[in-house]
Homo-oligomer: A and B are copies of this chain.
Amino acid sequence: MPEYKAPLRDTRFLIDEVFDFPASYAALGAVDATPDMVAAILEEGAKFCEQVLAPLNRSGDEEECQFDNGVVTTPKGFKEAFAQYGEGGWMSLAADPAYGGQGLPHSLGLLVSEMVGASNTSWGMYPGLTHGAMSAIHAHGSEEQKQTYLVRMTEGRWTGTMCLTEAHCGTDLGIIKTRAVPQADGSYAISGSKIFISAGEHDMSENIVHLVLAKLPDAPAGTRGISLFIVPKFLADASGEAGERNGVSCGSIEHKMGIKASATCVINFDGATGYLIGEVNKGLNCMFTMMNHARLGTGMQGLCLGEASFQGALKYANERLQMRALTGPKAPDKPADPIIVHPDVRRMLLTMKAFNEGNRALAYFTAQLLDQAHSADSAEQREEAEDLLALLTPICKAFMTDTGLEVTNLGMQVFGGHGYIREWGMEQLVRDCRIAPIYEGTNGIQALDLLGRKVLGSQGKLLRGFTRIVHKFCEVQAEHPQLKGYVAQLATLNQQWGELTQKIGLAAMKNPDEVGAASVDYLMYSGYVALAYFWLRMAVVAQQKLDAGSGDAAFYQAKLATCAFYFKRLLPRTAAHLAAAEAGSECMMSLPAEHFGL
């Protein structure tokens, strides 16, 4: 397994030098999040991830979760690590102080979750789902529900899940069959079977709080008839602690390609006691609070696994001796040169590096918006942040996971045949990453959300919120001595982005299939342009630091070199996505379904 080291230098570069988190924390009144405190938290988090979680990653994959008669046993060390996580206050970091939380900014929680996911993605699923459930209860739960559930989850003693999918429906939640029958005491009897429930059953916590989508007997058809319920594994007793077992059971766990140490469960509800959360028939709205959180988290998994893969590949490329450089031996005292001398190995490493660091910038920018959407002073600021967040969330989820999968595959490729062997750990990163473009809404669904719901659904308003930022940046930097060529490239693509949107929008007014035909390529185009913007923001800062004679010149030079690589070698992919997005639906819809097999 590649040894994981949290990339704290890059994190500090982004939060301190590019996005100025200290200033925004101060503006948001997050008085505890001083630069020193943030640095200390990140260093402690890094230590926990490097020393506790990373060593459990390979063994977790080999051991997998075990299922025996309804009981799920997680791999060795998982339970203890979770206890340590709770005791260390990691679960409460960004939680509301009114319910036992430390009240630190959400963005800081996301930075910590990046290190967790990079060191052990499977393990990270348990707290990850819990954080999501916490945010839904916090936003929509009653005071009593918060006192009972949120407080214990914040303490790291109870965990959470989200129960949406059923065997016959994942994307199409309007047709769920799980039923909720009102009881005399105000609770509901929940009956039905949910599948693909991550962390649905396990041995890591005292209780498991399921958030379950179900329909009331008289509910309207479709998504407007869905309600959300809290269904705990153990019912709370008089003191609020885990008491009597509820009618919830785990029917089986799935045998999967990857994230094998994350229990993916069939959860059966047999007249289980459930408590309505939020309003009747508004369950999907409540669940979206959780899903937006989960979508950012899933996007992060692409970055996490990409970072782990890069660290492994870079080490191997420096150590593995094979062939001589075409320009003459670079390590003449050795039987061959390290493979990092070969241009094509560098192409792979730089592609990984450019995606990882670009995706990290996108993620942190989005994390900063999350803070603002939660806590900015004015409604106007909050709305602006929410709009940008709405636009960027599907891009984060889909672009970061698709490119993350490319990155982990490249990391494997750098290892040659050894990459295919389990003990090296590189193929596990590919397998673990492969779920990210699928779950929390497939990347195809994200693309429809972006183009259909967010961009066209707002008549382009949400898109303009971002392209205007890019446009202003390009205006300011148009004459940048070293970077103006890239600035011009970005400005052109940014303008094209709007034109492409208009073109599809017009076509879609005549034929709604035009949206689905263009959506995935549109999303990928958007992601490449967004990353180009973030790469230039990083490059501008790096150049400033170099001009100012910074002591860390090599770091900033590496940033500039990677930015150049991104613009020259990766950004041209926009041309392919643009052409495909503009190609129209006819070449996809004309073939009758029954003729595909001919």
Chain A: residues with CB nearer than 8 A to chain B? 9, 165, 168-172, 175, 195-196, 254-258, 311, 314, 318, 321-323, 325-327, 335-336, 338, 340-350, 353, 405, 409, 412-413, 416-417, 419-423, 427, 430-431, 434-435, 437-439, 442-444, 447-448, 511-513, 515-517, 519-520, 554-555, 557-558, 561-562, 564-565, 568-570, 572-576, 579-580, 583-585, 587-593, 595-598
Cα A296 to Cα B307 with chains together (Å): 34
* Nearest chain B CB to A403 CB, angstrom units: 13
**A568 lies within 8 A of B593 (CB):** no
Q: Which of chain B's residues have a CB closer than 8 A to the CB of A348?
A: 444
Residues in B with CB closer than 8 Å to A513 are 325-327, 343
Number of copies: 2
Residues of B close to A572: CB separation below 8 A:
575-576, 579-580, 583
Known: A323-B172, A344-B448, A590-B561. A430 touches B575 (CB 8 A): no
Partner of A576, one of B437, B447, B517, B575: B575
Please give 20 more A-B residue pairs, beta carbons under 8 A apart, in addition to A314-B596, A412-B434, A558-B596: A169-B336, A171-B323, A254-B421, A256-B422, A340-B593, A342-B444, A344-B444, A346-B588, A346-B591, A347-B520, A417-B438, A419-B438, A420-B439, A554-B592, A561-B587, A561-B591, A568-B579, A568-B583, A572-B580, A575-B576
CB distance from A136 to the nearest CB of B (A): 21
Query: With A338-B593, A593-B318 in contact, is A515–B326 under 8 Å at CB?
Result: yes
Q: Which of B168, B434, B569 contacts A321 (CB 8 A)?
A: B168
Q: Report whether A422 and B257 are in contact in the complex, using a CB–CB cutoff of 8 Å.
A: yes
Contacts of A589 in B (CB 8 A): 343, 346
For residue A496, give the distance in angstroms from its CB to the closest CB of chain B. 14
In the complex, A517→B350 CA distance in Å? Answer: 12
Pick from B322, B422, B517, B564: contact of A169, CB below 8 A.
B322
Give CA–CA (A341, B512) in the complex, Å: 12
Nearest first, the 3 A-B pairs at minimum CB distance are A343-B516, A572-B579, A326-B512
Given contacts A417-B170, A576-B575, contact A511 B256 (CB under 8 A): no
Known contacts A412-B434, A419-B438, A555-B598; A336/B172 CB under 8 A: yes
23 contacts between A and B (CB under 8 A): A195-B417, A255-B423, A256-B422, A257-B431, A311-B597, A314-B596, A326-B512, A327-B511, A327-B513, A342-B516, A344-B516, A344-B517, A420-B434, A427-B434, A554-B595, A554-B598, A555-B598, A557-B595, A558-B595, A568-B584, A572-B575, A572-B579, A573-B576
**CB distance A437 to B417 under 8 Å?**
no
Complex Cα distance, B337 from A504, in Å, reads 24
Check if B597 sits within 8 Å of A422, measured CB to CB: no
In whole angstroms, what is the CA distance A255 to B172 when docked? 39
User: How far apart are the CA atoms of A376 and B325 in the complex, in Å?
Assistant: 40
Complex alpha-carbon distance, A344 and B171, angstroms = 14
**Given known A-B contacts A344-B444, A517-B343, A427 and B257 have beta carbons under 8 A apart:** yes
Shortest A360–chain B CB gap in Å is: 14
In the bound assembly, the distance between CA atoms of A366 and B430 in angstroms comes to: 32
Cα-based distance from A347 to B596 in the complex (angstroms): 12
Q: In whole angstroms, how far apart are the Cα atoms of A565 and B170 in the complex?
A: 29
- Whether the pair B326, A255 counts as a contact (CB closer than 8 A) is no
How many whole Å from A323's CB to the nearest CB in chain B? 5
**By the criterion CB–CB under 8 Å, are A420 and B448 in contact?**
no
**Please, which residues of chain B bring their CB within 8 A of the CB of A314?**
596-597
A580 cross-chain contacts in B, Cβ below 8 A? 568-570, 572
Residues of B near A597 (CB, < 8 A) are 311, 314
Contacts of A416 in B (CB 8 A): 170-171, 438, 442
Measured between beta carbons, the chain B residues less than 8 angstroms from A588 are 343, 346-347, 350, 565, 569
Taking CB atoms, residues of chain B closer than 8 Å to A574 are 576
Establish whether residues A322 and B512, one from each chain, have CB atoms under 8 Å apart when the complex forms.
no
- Give the distance in Å from the alpha carbon of A447 to the alpha carbon of B348 in the complex: 14
Contact across chains for A562 and B575 when beta carbons are under 8 A apart: no
Min CB distance A575 to B, Å, is 4
A519 with B576, Cβ < 8 A, contacts A255-B422, A420-B257 known: no
